Amino acid sequence: MSIKLICAISKNNVIGNENKLPWNISEDLKRFKELTSNNWIVMGRKTFDSIGRPLPNRKNIVLSKNKNLKIDSVEVFNSPKDVIDSYKNNSEQKDLYVIGGTYIYELFFEYCEYLYITYVDKEYLGDAFFPKVDWNKWKLISEDSRYDDKEEVNFYFRDYERI
């Protein structure tokens, strides 16, 4: 059981625009659901707002600096370390998926052992970006190439393990 990061990233490093995903790739959403279901997910408050509801069959954790924030069926934490402590001290056999956005990827990056990246092979307009990664510290363990007809784009599921 481990801490894993999952993100879809465009060719120009965009992950979001105006608090939404810039693309609609149904196979990617399906894979996200398959991987994260029955596990824990942690996201920033803005990403939660963008999704608009807790995702079913997962423990939903939202990170916010707002100490008064309460959301039904969601655990709100104020510090990344508290999330990590809660995960490490639990006895459930689950993975913790770090699901974004930019700030949350940055805060949790050092704890992640695996990266599940969907590389979308096109440039998009955006205002949220994936943090810079030293790819020399990661080993590609699986790659799967796909094409989305509606979005008219090649995309790749790339899984990495920390070296």
Shortest spacing between CB 147 and ligand NAP, in angstroms: 19
Shortest spacing between CB 93 and ligand NAP, in angstroms: 25
Smaller CB separation from ligand NAP, 101 or 157: 101
Smaller CB separation from ligand NAP, 91 or 109: 109
Q: Please name which of 36, 16, 42, 4 lies closest in space to residue 120, comparing C-alpha atoms.
A: 16
Smaller CB separation from ligand NAP, 2 or 51: 51
Counting DSSP H helices and E strands in the chain, the numbers are: 4, 10
Shortest spacing between CB 4 and ligand NAP, in angstroms: 13
d(CA 151, CA 17): 16
Contacts with ligand NAP by CB under 6 A lie at: 7-8, 15-16, 19-21, 43-47, 50, 63-66, 78-79, 99-104, 107, 128
Contact 154, 25 (CB under 8 A): no
Q: What angle is formed at CA 95 by the lines to CA 90 and CA 97, rounded to 5 degrees?
A: 115
